[in-house]
Structure 1
C-alpha cells in the first residue's frame, strides 16, 4: 500500500502543475515605480512619459538633420516653442516629486541627485529637462550653421552627435564657428561694381 505521505506529495505536485497558469504577484519594485513618494499611484506611468519626452523632440531633430534646406525646417528651428511639449512632459513628471526635485537643485549634491533619480518620475524629470535644453541647443547650432553656410554634410553628423552628447557637439561647433568666422573676416572685401555713367560704365583712374 502506498505511503499516505507519498500520495499527499503527489497531489501537491499535481496542484502545483495546475496552478502554473496563475500569474505571480507583481514584484515590489514594479509596484513602487508607479507610486508617488506618499504611496499613491501615479496617474501616468513615469516610463511612458520618459519615452514620450524624446519622441516629441525627435521630429525637429530629423528635420534639421535630413532636410536642412527645406523652408519649414528653418521656420520651425527658429521657434523656441518646439521645447514646450517636452516641458509639459517635464511638468507632469516633476510635480509628484517636486519637494525632492527642489531639494536636489537648490542644494545640489551627488547623494541628493542619486536619491532623486531613484524616485518615480525623478529620473524621467531629469531626462525631459535634458531633452528640452539639448533641443534648443541643437536648433541654435542648426541656425548658426545655416547663417555661416556650413555644408549640410558637415552639419548633419554634428547634429547627430549633439543628440547623444550635446556638450561635445556644442564644443565642436563652437570651434567650427570660430574658424568659419575668422575665415570670413580675413577674406578680401568684394570690389563694388562701377556705377554706369551717361556714356557707359565709369572706369577707375
Structure 2
C-alpha cells in the first residue's frame, strides 16, 4: 500500500454509483471480518462482482477503498447520533453518553463481533500521518468532544478530563470484548461509566 491516496469518491451532486456501493459494501464486510491486509483487491473485485476496470475507476488504490470504508462508518455514526439528539430533546446529554456506553454492551453480543473497526484498522497502519490513521483519530476526537459537550450540559466539574477518561474506558472495554469476550454479568462497566459521569 502507498501512503498517499487520491480523491476517489462520487462527484458532488451525482447519484451514488451502484457498482461503487457494491464494492464498498463487500469491502466493508471483508475488512471487518478478516482484516485489511488479509483482503486483497482481487478478492474484493470477485466478491463484489464488478469488472477490474470498474473497481479502479472508483478506487484507484486499495488505500482509497480503506479510507472510504472508514468514512462511511463515520457518516453512519454521525447520522445516528444526530437522530438520537433530535429524538431525546432536553435529555440529550444523558442519552448521548448512554449511546456511547451502549455501543460496548450491544456490540459484544453481535454475531461476528471483532471489536471496533477504527481501532482494528488503525492498528494495521503504523504511519501516524496516513489518511486512514487520520480518519480514525478524527473520529475518536469527535466522540470525545461529543461527550465533553454532554458533560458540560450536565454541569460536570471536569468535562474535558472526564470525556478523555470515558473514551479510554470505552476503548479498553471494546478491546477486551474482542479479545476475551468481556463477560460483565455484574455490570461493572456500566457502574464505572456512570460513576465517572456522576
Shorter-chain TM-score tier: 0.3 to 0.5
Structure with max Cα Rg: 1
Please report the TM-score for the alignment, with normalisation by the length of structure 2.
Answer: 0.36
